[in-house]
Structure 1
Amino acid sequence: MTEKIAVLGAGSWGSILANLLDENGNDVRLWSNSEAQAAELNDHHTNQHYVPDFHYSESLTAYTDLAAALDGVAAVLFVVPTKAIRSVAQQVAAVLQQTHQKPIIIHASKGLELETHKRLSQVLAEEIPADLRQAIVVLSGPSHAEEVAKRDITLITAASEDTKAATFVQQLFMNDYFRIYTNNDVIGVELGAALKNIIALGAGALHGLGYGDDAKAALMTRGLAEISRLGVALGAQPLTFIGLSGVGDLIVTATSVHSRNWRAGNELGSGQDLKTVIETMGMVIEGIPSTKAAYELAQQQSIEMPITEAIYDVLYNNADIKQVIPQLMRREGKPELQ
């Protein structure tokens, strides 16, 4: 299957997904808002700031002109930071309105819109009207750009209320090292993707503080319980959270040095202040705004999320990270399955 596809966002994940689609035989247009980055990709086939020492396919073309990137495409893949999804979607809608195209919209970003707490497919549906698009598909699961770049085995999920569209995306991406499963639980897949970043911050912090595997396992297990409670309250299917976009994504994000959320938490646990961590990371740390959105959602829904609350206090109330852990441990005893 050969398709014309626009990939919006040339960071680590966006550029590697674009390269994978190109290697699968598609006509891929990788859009960046940086002239220098697009020039580097086109002239040198590298993207050193995001994926050092990786050589991209020479047939992959980078664009800074959004209209040119979108021209005649069958699908548009959003891989921009959560905070940019709405504004980029507005620009895409303006182009589609002029060209009368109706592509499938895919997104592989992981977060919740901070002000509205909306999932990203909801934001896309608001900004790109139904007459300008086909279905919306969410691409999510346990995946690091660095490992996909090395053609390590990776399995993720394509979720959509439109089974045909999910299958289209499945076929678009699948190859010998990248396997896609379909799912119709868009709510669960998106919430799993966003909320696991919070737990990854906590897992990194535990490592930075010197805690071991027992503590990490406890955090991830009880963190998944929190994710499931909030997700089910918002309409997700419980089984989604023991799938690729739930426990799978949580494992890879909360245990790997490739995870910027884990690295940010590790630096916080090692004594760095939050401002310095954000400034030195060089890439978006989605878990920080997601913590605020999840905390506020939990308050609205009256859902108990003690780990999320503790991380929120560290990030937004300057709580001492060394004090919140014993506070969590000394909470009143409860049955595990509540």
Structure 2
Amino acid sequence: MGARRLPRPARRRSRQGPVTRAATENARGVVVGRRPARVRLLWFGIAVAVVALLAFASVVIGSRDVSIADVVAAIGGSVDNTSEAAVAKRLPRTVLALVVGLALGLAGAVMQGVTRNPLADPGILGVNMGASLAIVVGIAWFGLSTATGYLWVATVGAGVAAVFVYAIGSLGRGGATPLKLALAGAATSAALASFVTAISLPRGDISGTVRSWLIGGVGGAGWTSIGQMAPFLAVGVLVSLLSARRLNSLALGDELATGLGERVAVTRAVAALGAVLLCGAATAIAGPIAFVGLVVPHACRLLVGVDHRWLLPFSGVVGAGLVVASDVLGRIVARPGEVDVGIITAILGAPVFIAIVRRRKVSSL
């Protein structure tokens, strides 16, 4: 005789037990992903090394190539010739590219974790354009002119846009699905971009500056603006990294996260605050650079898995490398001129966005 079959309720309980235990371990950070720690550390070390090489290339490559001796002399404070002067200008530009890329890569990973939306990105969800509109309104109507003012106004604009898009995407049946959030973000970005054009176009005194800033770039960086950005960046990075374990809980779903003692609304609000600070600071200094926050987290998940304790710092490092690489590439392809970073990242990121949208299994994280 064959083995007696268990009654249906007993079989259902036997299947649910291991799943629940695995989910609990996932939420507590015990078992998230299957990549060994040494593999993750290896990839992280490789990423840091590649970013360091890209930063060095950013300093030496441009309309005028410079030598290592010129780099060392410029770092030491000696600016005696044209090459050393070029290095002195490229150093803050390289640092700005690093911190902007770190901010956008980290913010993209946090947004995808908060919304459980694989299409979440500061540009796609309208956050960058919200910050842009706030700055343009401040310049045109309130005489905004300081970098510190840009930072505060951009942060407020980014926060308002994020809340608006999430509220619109949550309407109707099913709540905030990835498709609804992406559509709400795209529509909001288009509307905000129209407002930016309507405000700046009649103002000949600011229209040229606004148009060039909206492309997104790191040229003309200075140590003063980077220093003013640093407190916003530091707070945003700290809040985002401290939210990593709770984002692992959110990945299980709201009901299970609540059952494990997680305050879902508070977790989302705090993590989103970190992302908004990062996006606002990056946009205020460099303009709205798109697709970095979308492409980087997807690439990082392939290397280090879905554990946000690894994914968030890895996304920051890889984001920094992507922006620096885009800046270097923009100098090479149009020598002796240059192509702004925002154009390069759009060319690289648009095909990735299309590929993600076309995947049938992309419904949530």
Larger Rg: 2
- TM-score normalised by L of structure 2: 0.26
More strand by share: 1
TM normalised by structure 1 equals: 0.28
Specify which structure has the bigger relative contact order, considering alpha-carbon pairs within 8 angstroms and separated by 6 or more residues. Answer: 2
Say which structure is richer in helix: 2
